[in-house]
Amino acid sequence: MAKLTAVECRAFIQAVVEKAEEMRVPISVAVVGPEGHLIALERMDDAGFITPDIARGKAYTACAFRAMSPRFPDGLVIQQWFKERNPQMMMNASIFTNGQIVASGGCAPVFKGDEMVGAYGISGGTSGQDEEMAIYARAKVGWAHLSETDTTPPDVKEHINEIYARMGLKDRAL
């Protein structure tokens, strides 16, 4: 069974902080295991006091929803999916998990091969800024946010790609 180590998480966090400093956006970043339990968390000096909780909530959400369905490759899709179908359900999910559900950009699952080994969440910038930091850090440390073997049904891919297009992310596709 593969897993994320604290050392790997610290390298990812350092890469996120590096990009955040370049962008001049103070953030917090959290990494959780596949069950949503915290592995590592860091808050930059000038980041908002609530950003650690939001980052952890984003990471938890990415784990929870990606574990349930390949329909949810990142926080942007989770957010849009619920906004279009049942926004009340998203609020209810946050309530019955004691505020742990936070759907927004800047979070995604982490895979080693075909195994989801955890997720990360970044908070402090806009969804787009958090997402930019995440993409940079994933590339720098070699983390995959999708399974190595793509078993996503074609209709699900089409659905996700339609969501990205509606959100103005035409350069993103599964």
In a domain? residue 104: yes
**Cα–chain-centroid distance for residue 101?**
12
Per-residue pLDDT tens, the chain, 174 aa: give them: 789 999 999 999 999 999 999 999 999 999 999 999 999 999 999 999 999 999 999 999 999 888 777 778 788 888 888 888 888 888 888 888 888 888 888 999 999 999 999 999 999 999 889 999 999 999 999 999 988 998 888 888 888 888 888 888 777 777
**Domain count within the chain:** 1
In a domain? residue 1: no
In a domain? residue 98: yes
Kindly report the CATH number assigned to the domain that includes residue 122: 3.30.450.150
Q: What's the CA angle centered on 16, arms 82 and 125, to 5 degrees?
A: 50
Residue 149, domain extent: 6-167
